[in-house]
Amino acid sequence: MTQTSTLYCANHPNTETHLRCNRCEKLICSKCAVHTPTGYRCKDCVRSQQKVFETALWHDYLLGFIFAGLASYLGGLIAPRLGFFVLFLAPLAGVIIADGARMITSRRRSKPLFFTITAGALVGALPVLLWRIISLLIFAPQFESIFGVLLSSIWHGAYAIMVTSTVYYRISGLTFRR
User: How confident is the model over 65-86, as pLDDT tens digits?
Assistant: 999 999 999 999 988 788 889 9
Count the domains in the chain. Answer: 2
Q: Does residue 150 belong to any structural domain of this protein?
A: yes
Please check whether residues 69 and 132 belong to one and the same domain.
yes
The pLDDT of residue 145 is 63
pLDDT score, position 129: 83
Average pLDDT on 29-37 reads 88
pLDDT over 60 (residue 167): yes
- Count the neighbouring beta carbons within 10 Å of the beta carbon of residue 25: 9
Find out whether 17 and 8 touch, Cβ atoms under 8 Å. Answer: yes
Cα distance between residue 78 and residue 84, in whole Å? 12
Q: Is the pLDDT of residue 1 over 60?
A: no
| Cβ(105)–Cβ(56) below 8 Å | yes
The answer to whether residue 90 sits within a structural domain is: yes
Above 70 in pLDDT, residue 50? no
DSSP for 49-115 reads HHHHH----HHHHHHHHHHHHHHHHHHHHHHHHHGGGHHHHHHHHHHHHHHHHHHHTTT---HHHHH
Residue 113: name the closest of 148, 68, 147, 144 by CA.
Answer: 68
Domain of residue 45 covers 1-52
- Local structure of 36: helix, strand or coil: strand
Whole-number average pLDDT of the chain: 85
Tell me what the mean pLDDT of segment 4-12 comes to.
86
Q: Per the domain annotation, does 176 fall within a domain?
A: no
Give the pLDDT confidence score for residue 110 in this predicted structure. 87
Task: Clarify whether residues 128 and 158 are in a common domain.
Answer: yes
Q: Please report the pLDDT score of residue 72 as a whole number.
A: 96
Top pLDDT among 53 and 143 is at: 53
Domain end residue (candidates: 35, 52, 69): 52
Cβ atoms 63, 102 nearer than 8 A: no
Please determine, for residue 142, whether its predicted confidence score (pLDDT) is greater than 70.
Answer: no
Same domain, 44 and 80: no
Q: Tell me, what's the pLDDT at 85?
A: 92
- 3-class DSSP state of 15: coil
| Same domain membership, residue 89 and residue 165 | yes
pTM of the model: 0.67
- Give dist(CA 178, CA 176) in Å, integer: 7
pLDDT band at 173 (very low <50, low <70, confident <90, very high): confident
Task: Please compute the mean of the pLDDT values over residues 27-42 and round it to a whole number.
Answer: 89
